[in-house]
Structure 1
Amino acid sequence: MWKYQQLFILLSGVLILFVCSSSARKFRICIVDGRGIFKTSGKFCPLLEAKESQIECVLGIDRLDCLRKISKEIADFSVFTPEDLLAALNLHAEVLITNELKYNEDNFEYELVAVVNKFSNISNIYDVGKKRLCLPGYGVEPEISKVLANYFEATVVPPSCDPNLSLLENRLKASDEYFEALCKAGPWVSDSKQDRLLKQKFPNMCSLCDDPYNCNQHDKYWGRRGSLYCLTDGRGEISWARLDDVHSHFGVVPGDTPKGVEIENYMLLCRDGTLMPINSTNPCVWVSKPWSVVASRRTSASRIQEFVASLSQNTGTRSPWQTALFNLIETLNYDIKNVDPIMSVDTYLSKAPGFLSAHSFSGCHPPRTLRICTTSNIENAKCNWLREAAAVSGVEPDIDCIKANNKTHCFKAVKENFADVVFVHPDLQFTATRDYDLKTLLYETSRNNDLYMTGAVVHASSDIKDLNDLQGKRACFPSYNGIAYNTILHELRTHNLLDNSICPYEESLGHYFGSTCIPGLNTNSKNLNQLCDRNLYDGEKGAFRCLAENKADVAFIDLKTIQNYTDGMSQEKWAENLKSKDFRVLCFNDNNKCSLSTMSYSQAMVRHNITRMFEHESLNTLTLIDRYFGRNNRTITPALVLYGPYDGQHNILFSDNTERLNTNLYYKHNMQVLPINYTEIIRNIPKVCEPNTSNYLSNNFYLLVIVC
């Protein structure tokens, strides 16, 4: 018995110790920095390091990263939008809602209603067909989310599912045919040429606009209040608008009420088929958007709710660290209100009328998807989070993520229609183009206007001055059939420096150079790969290292590689003493050309034979995710960072250095001063190397005559 008592006392002591240590641990808030004045972590997080502080900062790359950190117990709580919560729901990231961030006493951040002209013979939702509809339009985010801006049409218009039209065209066609006339201004797609073609194809969608031809964001009837002006100016009979704007427009609350607008001439159209006065105390709302929230781990939700709520209540007695935390949580003069009781995500979102159903409309069958091919678990994980973030943002078609073992498997999957898009480094572009018949859809263009610039790099003291001086010299390449390899092959062929009687091309190169390292090339040739050493000289870094360690006389690499591994820019031991001044780029005679080819660091490639419709749909999907999650997104803090680290790793799926996805490689460059596009080089290299003995003999004869 005594032994059991001793054991109980011992276990109790362990439990007490655990509880004390647990309660002593600081709560961890996950912080996502915004831009400009919203970049707050550097200012406020250090104040949380005070000894008396009960909170510490954990930095997240984006809001969805904070969700993952809470799920992995790296953080305890953070601030999220309702769209973030939808993504969490779909990806089973379990959190609880503890507090709402509100800037007024309304139940929801905003609500959308249908307003009709009393004299338009509309008495229920079945009467709206063949009437004139005014809409906020495209590009009104974040004031109205894209999904909620389209909710009225999605609810009342019978869908169109023509397989020969894109999903967007089907939506436009359905509305175009259902209503007599509309104004839906703004950018329908990101590409201006395609936008113009669509507006020419469906002119009825812009016929009520003030400027039907341009039908853009500068139109009088575009935007939150635009749809209401369209109604009260007599253009339309129905307006889809935010309830707070309706109340301001019609004078229910003080606001900018247009002259001559009489509230009694307009009614709210309800989903149940009834009409209601605009100034009703309980107006009929079609769909509501919940407030942003504080969400936390289940195990600490009640304590975090109590603690966060106290920040709003004790405004005059906050300590410096409490004030810092308050500033980290609320960025737009929100009040912090308790959610009572604490709720699960699905319970919280289901309290907002129409919100969940707005994000779960069934599409056409079979469903349309854009299938992105990934090659690792972490790439696939990022792709899945992107899929959910895109879906809740209204991007169509849906993204799907297909995992393959490597890039060549992805190429095959795209070619054989098991996947649609693969992101390709220029070293693999030749293989993707020649062996799998893929083509470039979009380029990842760099925020610093950086492009892969292929050059020939030698030691500064080298006597090599020109392309002709390279014969018999030792050479290192990043990879076989990569951009540097094919660029030099093209350059030597263009200048007739290769022996055309020798095939295949690698044997011809091996005959020209003294010895080489061409990683990825399987050969029994004595010269080829003689310089390679246990994979030390693979890739860009390896080719430059091969030169730096004097194994080669020349390295054919991206010119940016020099600055990446010299002058203290690299921590690798082999590069720690390298100076950029000790290396020189060969500049050739024609126009003093120092780089021989150019290409983006990555590009989206698709099947060569996709239909024009699917090409436009794919372009629209990828440019939309660029707009919502790229560097130019309009949110205070990003939901998902497309071009940046993911779970602590770099260059996952997209290059960290990407500025935007673009159809034009040279959109910020002077084409006159740039070398040839690498795509042109690929086209100019014959698919099959065929020995040309006659040319070789005639060239030798010509040289012989000169000698004589």
Structure 2
Amino acid sequence: MQLLFVALLCCLAIVSAAPTTTIKWCVISDLELRKCNDLAQRSPIFACVRKENPLACIVAIKAGEADAITLNGGDIYTAGLNNYDLAPILAETYHGPSHDACFYSVAVVKKNTAFGLRDLRGKKSCHTALGDPEGWNLPIGTLLSKGVIDWGGADDKPLLQAVSEFFSASCVPGAQGQTNLCQLCKGDCSESSSNDYYSDAGAFKCLDEDAGQVAFMKATEIPASKKNNYELLCDDNSRAPIDNYKTCNLGREPAHAVVTRKDPQLAELIWTSLTSVRGINLFSSENYGGKNLMFSDTTARLQQVPPDTDSFLYLGAEYMSKIRSLLQDLPRSLSTTALKWCAVGHAELAKCDLWSGNSINPDTGNSAVECQSAPTVEECFKKIMRGDADAVAVDGGQVYTAGKCGLVPVMGEQYEEARCSIPGASISSYYSVAVVKKNSGVTWATLKGKILVILAWAEQLVGTSPWCKGSGKAVGDQAKCKANSDELYYGYAGAFRCLVEGAGDVAFIKHTIVGENTNGNGPDWARDLRSDDYELICPGNSNSVPINNYESCNLALVPAHAVITRPEIQREVVRVLMDQQAKFGPHGSDDKFRMFVSENGKNLLFKDSTKCLQEVQGSSYESFLGTDYMTALDSLRKCSTDTPALENSCTFQTCQ
């Protein structure tokens, strides 16, 4: 009956949604209108709507008065906000050897200087133009998000004033009326040829002629003949050669994208209509007296964005943190007085609610922790990127996915108590092992072609397997194969239980799991289990070995679970969690709650074996995971079709 009702609703939705027969393109200048009218003449499915600026177009598309527009990263961010809820559907890719779908902003300096990115106060700066991604938004956003430029927001002072006070002198084309920001410009301070220091070429010329000491610009616009005389400033305060811009930069500006309402049929119509246009070059503006009209002139082709990719997945958390900093949208602080923790599944939410209640400050009545819930870790990542949640603890494979979306690991679980008292101690790691029942006859060789699929989900096994158990309910079990604690075969202990109960022949788990769930340890289902009834199988070996031989028989050394958050709030997250574990850790001052104990489940919110959380040294997910683990996951993604959908949305652009 329920399925029939859902089907009826779907039919009603189809009937009530009248098919779109015209694509109303929104333009923001008379020159764009000329080009759009030319397009409409050649392809009558298009019509043109003239508005004054991108925001007016965004409002019109939301209201149905227009259907589509091509936007840059900053405007894509605005379009994705809840009050507009538009989404990118087509991305531009650009001419070049790799058809990169984005570009990098860099800070260029002369080699004979000796300062880093964090030493720019009082220096003279050259910028491409006010509001340009490469010359303003990304570099200034980076300096703000890292606290290099201290700005309290518009209520404190205008952003331009804060930047003017930070640099001793600048050329920021377009910043007329700001004396200090126009002081270095040659000619006037306009965004035109009457200002010799306008654009990427102008910003570099400003540096090359010693007017400025640092140029913020697009990496690929540095003249090849002069590269050897210059270096890049990296965000870790080091320097690098010019050609290292993909690892030493101030951020990636994603490709411009066509945005529209979240309507798959409309998105498909826009795609098929644009790709069938004949008689006009969509990616040229030379016949209309302008540049970058409707689309960027450097566009080689359009690329469909993966389904269900919203603006925030398209942009990535790192880019959004810089945009938020420019907008002073709660930079470097939590969105409320509390840390919003994302709980996955009912059992985790119950524990989180208990944590929240015990975190209330009796003097203020405010909680230090609030709880958000999501059905999966991926949904938690989306909430964190949007700012609806702040943090979640996840395993190494999920750290990889989060990192691809621009989120960062800030604290790692430490499983060795002795290391908790050592400042800067390395975060715990553990071995991933393949466990079978003793004398089962299962060896590495007999796994054959199933290995890759199983390994792809070694840490996120539930969600693909037809042998999932669910919550144990007889009928109507909505938990079956859900990637959360409601599924009895979820996680490491769940994977071992899957083996124990005969649902699977091999369990890919952490090396400590067998010991934690045998010989009198573990929950009720493990009460009568003995560790010597299980053994390990080794890659490339037909023999099996005892459980305690994990150092010589394992799949990989895996990093500990880590707390993931947005880049701009990592310091606040660390502060709150350090305070919370001082109260609710194993040796905490308040025994009413324990962060690392799960009374109604296993490994809820954190691993039960956690002794403390320790701050990650360096926020790069690559450095946290380590070279070997990164290489293994990179290789796995290339040969597996099971890459998480979220990861596909975050990485489809070729420069990521």
Q: TM-score, normalised by structure 1?
A: 0.36
Q: TM-score, normalised by structure 2?
A: 0.39
